[in-house]
Structure 1
Amino acid sequence: MAEAQLCGLQDEFTCSVCLDTLTDPVTIPCGHNFCLKCLTDYWDQTQEYSCPQCRHTFTTRPELSRNTLLNEVIKKLKKTTLSPPPSQNYAGLGDVECDFCTGKKFRAVKSCLTCMASYCQTHLQLHYEGDALKHHKLVDPDRNLKEKLCEKHQKSLEMFCKTDETCICTICGMTEHNSHKKVELKMEREEKQKQLGATLSDIKRGLEEREKTLKEMRRAMEEMK
């Protein structure tokens, strides 16, 4: 009975960074658990200390100490039959890699414009299951996410300043662009697409008229011959 219960809780004892059973588990202030090495390596590669699972950000790097009780429970879990993680494709040439896989990375299936990160099928599940992430904007895998970040504030570019004709983030909109005329980036994109469509139509019309004129000139030349 106890082993069956542990098997049912297997996902609770899986590190969301390496997707394997927790090794030397540590618990951070937001309540999520990770392998000590996975979390240490993850934080060593960034200047912002956030939870890899819920994205909660900490002002200072939390001290990590092993969760002894959880470690004992995991030892019992390892004695049961563990199911392997779901089958996925590793990222190949031209694929967008998952930002949260360690070691050999899986192919990303979605990119999040709110988190500004790309996710494989496994790491993406939190965006479907977590209440805090359900409303994030997911798009097809995008390898150029950094180009969509404000260089000054490292926030996503969500607005367009019509005064300066440039894309800005919300912080820019409240500071140096505060008195400028601004619209949502999506609205500006739709307007530009309409303008481009109208321009292309005018060009097409002009080409058709020139082609018609050229045919008439050729016909007149033939008659003259």
Structure 2
Amino acid sequence: MCKEGFTTRPNLRVNTFISEMVAQFRQSAQQKASSSSSEQQVSKPGEVPCDVCTGTKLKALKSCLVCLVSYCETHLEPHLTMSGLKRHQLIDPVENLEGRMCTKHDKPLELFCKTDQTCVCILCTVLDHKMHDVVPLKEEYEGKKAELGKKEAEIQQMIQKRRLKIQEIKHSVDLSEEDADREIAEGVQVFTSLKESVERGLKELINTIKEKQKTTEKQAEAFIKELEQEISELMKRSTEAVTPDTLSNASEVLVSAETPESCRCVFWPEPKSQPQ
């Protein structure tokens, strides 16, 4: 403390020693805040961001049901140190804090009315939901969570059963396809053998008919040739034949009228009908 006396008010001067201490203190505080902020995680999609952070939003550590604000580690410090803010109710960070407050009584929705299946505040249980079955919200949450977990397990079990059924059906289809391919191959083999047998039988039948035709043609040619020879001999005899006027007696007519042995007709057999 300065004990020097002055008759007039002196001009104020900056205490360089205290000024330097304040500057160092501010610099240290800024470095500490900067280091603390860098260590905290930046809010990612799906996470609750700090409502106080400007610029880059850090991940909220707690939400205040009185302030209806979510705080990161840095901005939460006053609620942990100041006596007036220590009385505020802090919960794990959640979004839409306004929706967690009773619109009628402006109190946190900390209870659940099973009768009306709705969230209520402490005043609701005394007024509007009197004599209703009311339990703590956390208790109802745990019960619902367990129930949903059981339903989820049942659903997953049903999904697994259906997946196994799908695998069985696919396996059955694969086996059916293999059987179909095998039956097709066997059918093709049978019909191919049958086709070859029919073609072979048809070829043999055609060859047999052709051979018969050739034999018939040869026989016909032989008969035709023999008949043509007989015709030639008959025509020759016809030119040399005597008339009744040139004969001296009736015996010569009778002798000359006899049919020579070489002029007898050869009969061609009727063709046989082919089998249908």
Query: What TM-score bracket applies, with the shorter chain setting the length?
Result: 0.5 to 0.7
Q: Distance in 2 between matches of 1:209 and 1:150?
A: 45
How many residues matched? 147
Segments of structure 2 that go 5 or more residues without pairing to the other structure are: 3-14, 180-276
- 1:153 aligned residue: 105
Q: 88, 92, 96: which is aligned to 1:144?
A: 96
Whether 1:167 aligns to 2:119 is yes
Structure 1 contact 128–134 (Cα < 8 Å) conserved: no
Structure 1 contact 116–156 (Cα < 8 Å) conserved: no
Amino acid at match of 1:171: L
- 2:174 aligned residue: 222
The TM-score with structure 1 as length reference comes to 0.52
Cα gap change, 1:175 to 1:117, in 2 (>3 Å): same
Deviations 1:136-178 (A, max 9, x none): 33423x4421111111111111000000000011111111101
Q: Distance in 2 between matches of 1:220 and 1:123?
A: 64
Cα deviation, residue 135, structure 1: 7.8
Whether 1:194 aligns to 2:146 is yes
Deviations 1:73-96 (A, max 9, x none): xxx9xx74433354356x999843
* 1:7-46 paired onto structure 2 within 5 Å: none
Q: Distance in 2 between matches of 1:93 and 1:211?
A: 35
Cα gap change, 1:104 to 1:215, in 2 (>3 Å): closer
Identity of aligned residues (%): 32
Alignment RMSD = 3.7
Whether 1:181 aligns to 2:149 is no
Amino acid at match of 2:128: E
Q: Distance in 1 between matches of 2:136 and 2:113?
A: 9
Amino acid at match of 2:120: I
Amino acid at match of 1:201: A
Q: 79, 91, 97: which is aligned to 2:51?
A: 97
Cα gap change, 1:125 to 1:220, in 2 (>3 Å): closer
Deviations 1:88-143 (A, max 9, x none): 56x99984322xx9x99985653223543334555533332345616833423x44
Q: Based on CA coordinates, which of the two structures has the bigger radius of gyration?
A: 2
Amino acid at match of 2:92: V
> Secondary structure of the equivalent of 2:115?
coil
Please state which structure has a larger fraction of its residues in strand.
Answer: 1
> Secondary structure of the equivalent of 1:160?
strand
Q: Distance in 2 between matches of 1:106 and 1:215?
A: 48
Amino acid at match of 1:110: K
Please state which structure has a larger fraction of its residues in helix.
Answer: 2
Structure 1 contact 113–139 (Cα < 8 Å) conserved: no
Structure 1 contact 127–136 (Cα < 8 Å) conserved: no
> Secondary structure of the equivalent of 1:180?
coil
- 1:211 aligned residue: 163
Q: 117, 127, 134: which is aligned to 2:79?
A: 127
The TM-score with structure 2 as length reference comes to 0.44
Cα gap change, 1:218 to 1:116, in 2 (>3 Å): same
Quick one: higher RCO (CA 8 Å, sep 6+), 1 or 2? 1
